[in-house]
A and B are shown apart, each in its own frame.
Chain A
Amino acid sequence: MTTEVRVLSATGMLGSGFLESSLERGVALAPHVIAADAGSTDGGPAYLGSGTPFFSREATARDLRLMLRARARLGVPMIVGSCGFGGGNAGVDWIRDIVLEIAREEGMHFRAALIRSEQDKAYLKRRLREGRILPLHPAPPLDEAVIERSAHIVGAMGHEPIVAALEAGAEVVLAGRATDTSLFAAVPLMRGAGAGPAWHAAKTLECGTAAVVQRKRPDCLFAWVREDHFDVAPCDPEMRCTPQSIASHTLYENADPFLVTEPSGVIDTTEATYEAIDDRSVRVRGSRFRPSERVTIKLEGAELAGYQSVIIAGVREPYILRQLDSWLDGMQARFAERAREVFGFGPGPGGYDLRIRVYGRDGVMGKLEPRRDELGHEVCLLITVTTARQETSRAVAKSFAHLALHYPIPEWGGLISGLAFPFTPAEMDRGPVYRFNLHHVVQPDDPLEMFRTEMLEV
């Protein structure tokens, strides 16, 4: 008898939505698991750093309610990974509370597993001293002080903690940071599908309908995973997968289109072939999974970079534009003197960080911009002021905006107003800003040691 494991990916990102009719079509295909990814680093370090979610509670609860109803009818597990976007403890708690509220309202009963992936700083420092934290390329420098000052650090779990939770009877798995693929690979691997097809199917499923020809909306994607191949199709009959759309999904957000590194090995799609089954379904053969000798768990860390205030200003005057850089440099040098008079500090560590980005020149691409010598007839300046305290950043920004507005150029005699502020007050508070500070992997003794599972009877 041949193995077939059916996997329903509800959506590429929990909270981005899916059609109820698509979920129904997926349910009718009798999946063995319903899963969705709920997080990423892609939104930036603020989510991990602050523990705040990307989507609203309402949008997240809407998707979860429909998924929980579907899993209850089918009697199959539901897996959500990277809860709360950053995947830290706050995100797992947030999703848990939404799930508990839905279960109460709907009269649902199930066993839930919460798998936490936030890392203990003492553990990481020990592994660092043991030489068992290794940099990926390119990696920022790492020492114990980096670990200490991180707001939150998570490890991206593989399928093993999820499989362990399911084997312990979990029907709803709410995981902290996890690799996107492990959520979708766990059940096929447990049920005996081929490792190559299981992992490649998982990679295809994790973004939902990102793998279709023309993505009309975030929606459900379905896979049939067998021993030596998998089939994949979207649940919405109006969307289509083609060999090219499935092959090209390995490119998305991935540095290497053929190799994807997971905690326990490498997904290798170099030899994969893609064949149309009909005009909307694709069969993939030849995917391989090459187990690694050692488990590696990728770390993600965010630390506070400071508190920021920003100023937006336009410049249209041709005499200023033709000397823009020297004008901006001059006003910043003058402001450093003014700041020392007012605040007792200047630019640099312990003082303020002030940057001016010039839109209309290289605001989008910075040092990658090949046309940075060209300037339009107007530019937009985005000025950021970052210090250790919000009140300080705001105070510095206020003083800078005023000085910059009237900073002279030699061509004109008399007071000028060289900046067009679209609104006043010119300065706006952005709150805390974070930076990613880790691009490293840990070599644990086993794939479970960095993750903690708590079972809940709901």
Chain B
Amino acid sequence: MATLGELAKLIRSKNAGPFLLTFDVMFGDEATYRRVVASGVLTRARFAELYRIPESEVMFFRHDAARAIKISIPRPYVQCDLDDGDAYGGQQHAPLVELEVPD
């Protein structure tokens, strides 16, 4: 068992404009990318469950050339609104780092 953080080359979140958040999970080699995709630990449904948002709000992509899984969602709060605690959206990926990926 390894965590997604241990397997990925980079896990990050960022604003995609003031109204959307986007998450990139990138892998250094093809085998690890394929392993994580095949494991099913990171799917649209799993992401929606982890972040407690409706699955219909989750955009989910696999980018083979970049060896990356990408997810985009509406921001929970519009960027810099009174309840927003992350102006650049750069710290929203943390729960993904600890996801466990079966061998």
Contact = CB atoms under 8 A, between A and B. Distances in A.
A binds B: yes
Given A253-B22, A257-B61, A370-B52, A365 B83 contact: no
A365 B92 contact: yes
A300 B16 CA distance: 14
A255 B18 contact: no
B82 A247 contact: no
Interface in A227-275: 243-244, 247-248, 250-258, 272-274
24 contacts: A41-B15, A42-B88, A44-B18, A45-B80, A136-B19, A137-B74, A138-B20, A244-B66, A248-B26, A252-B24, A257-B63, A305-B82, A364-B86, A364-B94, A365-B85, A365-B92, A365-B94, A366-B76, A366-B84, A366-B85, A367-B52, A370-B51, A371-B95, A435-B78
Interface string B77-103: 111111111111001101100000000
Interface in B5-22: 14-20, 22
A243 B82 contact: no
B83 A366 contact: yes
A189 interface: no
B65 interface: yes
Given A45-B79, A140-B78, A248-B68, A253 B19 contact: no
B50 interface: yes
B80 to A, nearest CB: 4
Contacts of A42: 15, 88
Please name the 9 residue pairs, one residue from A and one from B, whose CB atoms are nearest each other, closest first. Answer: A248-B66, A247-B65, A44-B80, A255-B72, A247-B66, A255-B16, A436-B18, A138-B74, A439-B19
A251 B68 contact: yes
Given A255-B20, A255-B72, A368-B52, 11 more contacts: A42-B15, A138-B20, A244-B66, A251-B63, A256-B61, A257-B68, A365-B86, A384-B82, A436-B80, A436-B81, A439-B18
Question: Chain A's interface: helix, strand, loop or mixed, by majority?
Answer: loop
A211 to B, nearest CB: 11
B80 A46 contact: yes
Contacts of A258: 61, 63
Contacts of B61: 256-258
Interface string A139-162: 110000000000000000000000
- What bracket does the count of chain B residues touching chain A fall in? 35 or more
B71 to A, nearest CB: 10
A436 B78 contact: yes
A126 to B, nearest CB: 25
Contacts of B88: 42
A257 B79 contact: no
Q: Range of interface residues on chain A?
A: 35 or more
Interface in A1-51: 41-46
B65 A272 contact: yes
Given A137-B74, A243-B65, A251-B68, A41 B51 contact: no
Contacts of A434: 80
Nearest to A298: B17
A132 interface: no
A41 B15 CA distance: 9
A257 B70 contact: yes
B59 interface: yes
A254 B80 contact: no
A368 B19 CA distance: 15
Contacts of B26: 244, 248, 251
B16 to A, nearest CB: 4
Contact of A364 (B20, B82, B85): B85
Contacts of B24: 248, 251-252
Contacts of B78: 140, 435-436
Contacts of B87: 43-44
Given A42-B15, A252-B14, A253-B14, A368 B76 contact: yes
B86 to A, nearest CB: 6
Interface string A333-355: 00000000000000000000101
A432 interface: no
B103 to A, nearest CB: 24
Interface in A396-454: 433-436, 439
Interface string A355-375: 101000001111110110000
Nearest to A369: B95
